[in-house]
Amino acid sequence: MKITPVYTAHAVATGGRNGTARIDENPLDITLARPPAMGGNGKGNNPEQLFAAGYAACFIGAMEHAPVVDKSLPKPPADSSIASSVGIGPREDGGFGLSVTLEV
């Protein structure tokens, strides 16, 4: 499936899980650190936290867009809130996988 993006975000990560990430548009510098559960000091954010926040916000965006496309759907409340959980761990068949839970 091909899409034509209307917006593309750009970020640069340096140093992996114990490094930094920077978003130049509306500047944002993020210190990255492994969480204690993964042997880190937890003195920074981690990719799973950032993914959880972004996924929750995007899902609310999808809920807001759906009634634009299908007028029979109700508009979500302006104060819609979604709790998002993103987990990471080893897969039985090797490598790592992600689990995502949304509470709408």
When pLDDT is averaged across residues 52-62 and rounded to a whole number, the result is 97
* Cα–Cα distance for residue pair 82/66, rounded to 1 Å: 16
pTM of the model: 0.88
What are the tens digits of pLDDT across the range 1-36?
999 999 999 999 999 999 999 999 999 999 999 999
Decide: residue 35, CB within 10 A, 0-12 exposed, 13-18 middle, 19+ buried.
middle
- In this predicted structure, what is the pLDDT of residue 12? 97
- In this predicted structure, what is the pLDDT of residue 77? 96
- In this predicted structure, what is the pLDDT of residue 48? 96
Amino acid at 24: D
Question: What is the DSSP secondary structure assignment for residue 25, as one 8-state letter?
Answer: T
What are the tens digits of pLDDT across the range 72-91?
999 999 999 999 999 999 99
